[in-house]
Structure 1
Amino acid sequence: MSSAELILVYEPEQACRERLEASGMDAPAAAEISSYLAQSTDLAAEFEAIAFECARRDITFVPVQLDDAAKVLSERDPTTTLVWSLTDGIAYFRGGAAPALARLNGLKTLGAEDSLFALCQDKFRSGVVLGALGLPVPPAGLVRDGAWLAPAPASRDGWFVKPNRLGAKIGIWPESHCRELPQAWEISRRIFSRYCDDAVVQPYVAGRNVRVSFLAIDPEMPASEALGVFFVESGADFQTMEDSLALYGGTGAAAKAENRYSEPDLVPVASVQPEADTRIRALCLDLMKKLGLRDVFSVDLRVEPDNTLHLIEFEVCPGLPCFDFRAYCRRQWNMSLPEAIAAAAAARLAI
Structure 2
Amino acid sequence: MRITVLTYLEKKGDTAYDPVADQVANALRAEKHTVKVFAVHGDIVALVEGLREQRPTLVFNLMEAFGGNLCGEIGVAGALQLLSLRHTGGGPGEFYLQQDKALTKELLAFHGVPFPNYAVFRKDHYPDTSGRLRMPLIVKPLRMDASIGIESNSLVRSATQMMKRIVAIHEKVKDAALVEEYIEGREFYVGVLGNRKPIALPPIEMDFSGLPAGMPRVLGRRAKWVKSSPEYKGTRSKIAEIPNETKLQLQRVAIDAYRALRVRDYGRIDLRLTPAGEVYVIEVNASCYLEKSSEFATAAQAAGIRYVNLVNAIAKLALARFRRPY
Higher deviation after alignment, 292-301 or 108-117? 108-117
Q: Is 1:325 the counterpart of 2:296 in the alignment? A: yes
1:302 pairs, out of 261, 264, 272, with 272
2:236 pairs, out of 255, 264, 280, with 264
Change in CA separation of 1:195 and 1:149 when aligned onto 2, cut-off 3 Å:
same
Secondary structure (helix, strand or coil) at the match of 2:300 reads helix
Give the partner amino acid of 1:335.
R
Give the partner amino acid of 1:328.
A
Change in CA separation of 1:140 and 1:283 when aligned onto 2, cut-off 3 Å:
same
C-alpha distance in 1, partners of 2:116/2:35?
40
RMSD over aligned Cα atoms: 3.2
Unaligned residue ranges in structure 2 (runs of 5+) = 212-216
CA contact (8 A) 1:233 1:267 kept: no
C-alpha distance in 2, partners of 1:69/1:263?
38
TM-score (norm 1): 0.75
Secondary structure (helix, strand or coil) at the match of 1:333 reads coil
Give the partner amino acid of 2:297.
R
TM-score (norm 2): 0.81
Map Cα deviations across residues 173-232 of structure 1 (whole Å, 9 max, x no partner): 212111112211111111222211211111121111111113449x9xx633x4231211
1:223 pairs, out of 190, 198, 219, with 198
C-alpha distance in 2, partners of 1:273/1:14?
46
C-alpha distance in 1, partners of 2:218/2:20?
25
C-alpha distance in 2, partners of 1:287/1:178?
27
Give the partner amino acid of 1:332.
A
1:207 pairs, out of 169, 185, 209, with 185
Give the partner amino acid of 1:275.
E
CA contact (8 A) 2:105 2:115 kept: yes
1:10 pairs, out of 7, 11, 19, with 7
Change in CA separation of 1:97 and 1:276 when aligned onto 2, cut-off 3 Å:
same
CA contact (8 A) 1:88 1:117 kept: no
Change in CA separation of 1:97 and 1:9 when aligned onto 2, cut-off 3 Å:
farther
Unaligned residue ranges in structure 1 (runs of 5+) = 19-37, 247-251
CA contact (8 A) 2:4 2:36 kept: yes
Secondary structure (helix, strand or coil) at the match of 1:96 reads helix
Change in CA separation of 1:155 and 1:272 when aligned onto 2, cut-off 3 Å:
same
Could you tell me which residue of structure 1 aligns to residue 127 of structure 2? 150
CA contact (8 A) 2:5 2:24 kept: no
CA contact (8 A) 1:171 1:177 kept: no
C-alpha distance in 2, partners of 1:261/1:272?
24
Change in CA separation of 1:263 and 1:140 when aligned onto 2, cut-off 3 Å:
closer
Change in CA separation of 1:182 and 1:113 when aligned onto 2, cut-off 3 Å:
same
Secondary structure (helix, strand or coil) at the match of 1:119 reads helix
Q: Is 1:87 the counterpart of 2:84 in the alignment? A: no
**Percent identity over the alignment?**
21
Could you tell me which residue of structure 1 aligns to residue 48 of structure 2? 70
1:141 pairs, out of 119, 123, 132, with 119
Q: Is 1:239 the counterpart of 2:219 in the alignment? A: yes
Pairing 1:188-207 to 2, within 5 Å after superposition = 188-207=166-185
Give the partner amino acid of 1:317.
S
C-alpha distance in 1, partners of 2:198/2:103?
27
C-alpha distance in 2, partners of 1:106/1:277?
39
- Size of the aligned set, in residue pairs, is 306
